[in-house]
Structure 1
Amino acid sequence: MKNVVICCSLEDENIELIKTLKGNPLLENAKLHFVHIFEIHVYTSDFSPYIFPSEDKYPEIEKATKEILSGVAKEVCTADELKNSQIENYFAYSPKQKISDYLTEVDADLVIVASKQKHGIEGLFSSSFTDHLVKYSACDIHVLRPPRS
């Protein structure tokens, strides 16, 4: 059985793109890993650093995230695929590094990511999560792109 990692952002646009995977042959005979990684931000002030989210918020955030991802998994997976799926939520200073480590850890055969079409100044910089996976993923990658408007 192959391992397919589905990188899930919690943004509505990305969730809708991931839902389009329902019935996709890429998911057949696979263990599906629905993964979301929260980026930990450190802000500095004159007196002390501030870390967001703080560790005391992790359980609350993790519970809410797993509820959202469970709903996504139910919409994407058949009953058999749902039995072979798992939902993971991580907190990391570098989500790009964490996903790279996770792909190696689970010996992923494929990673699926929904891209955000950046426009204007944002689109000039090549530092997105999807770009990172395209360049450095240890396995095949399938990029879901939003429909052209």
Structure 2
Amino acid sequence: MKNVVICCSLEDENIELLKALKGKSALEDATLHFVHIFEIHVYTSDFSPYIFPSEDKYPEIEEASKKVMRTVAENVCTPSELEKSQIECYFAYSPKQKITEYLQDVNADLVIVASKQKHGIEGLFSSSFTEHLVKYSPCDVHILRAKEDQK
């Protein structure tokens, strides 16, 4: 049985893109791993560093995140796929490094990610999560992209 990791960013536009996976052959006979990784930020002030989110908030954030990912899984999976799916939420200083490690740990055959379609100044920088997966993923990468609005 193959392992398919679906990266969930929990943003509405990305969740909508993930819903398009329902019934796709890439998900057949696979254990689906719905994964979200919160980036831990460290801010410095005059007196002491401030870390967000703080560890005491992890359980609350994890529960809310898993609830959203369960809804995504229910929209993507058939009932038999849903039984085999796993929902994971992690906290890391480097989500890019954490997902690479996770893919290795579960021996992933495929990772699916929804691209954010950066525009303007943001689009000039080559440091996106998706680009990191393309360069460093130990498995195949499937990128979901939003269709351009046609006027």
Provide the residue aligned with 1:68 in structure 2.
Answer: 68
Report the Cα distance in structure 2 between the residues aligned to 1:64 and 1:121, rounded to whole angstroms: 32
Unaligned runs of 5+ in 1: none
1:89 maps to a residue whose letter is C
Quote the Cα distance in structure 2 between the aligned partners of 1:43 and 1:128: 21
* TM-score between both structures, scaled by the size of structure 2: 0.98
Q: Which structure 2 residue ranges, 5 or more long, are not aligned? A: none
The two structures have a TM-score, normalised by structure 1, of: 0.99
**Aligned runs of 1:90-129 on 2, under 5 Å?**
90-129=90-129
Q: Which runs of 4+ in 1 moved over 6 A?
A: none
Question: Cα RMSD (Å) of the superposition?
Answer: 0.4
Deviations 1:68-89 (A, max 9, x none): 0000000100000001100000
Aligned sequence identity (%): 77
Matched residue type, 2:92: A
Q: Using the alignment, how far apart are the partners of 2:69 and 2:118 within structure 1?
A: 24
Q: How does 1:1-149 map to 2 (within 5 A)?
A: 1-149=1-149
Deviation at 1:144, TM superposition (A): 0.2
Task: Figure out how many residues of one structure are paired with residues of the other and give that number.
Answer: 149
Q: CA deviation at 1:60?
A: 0.3
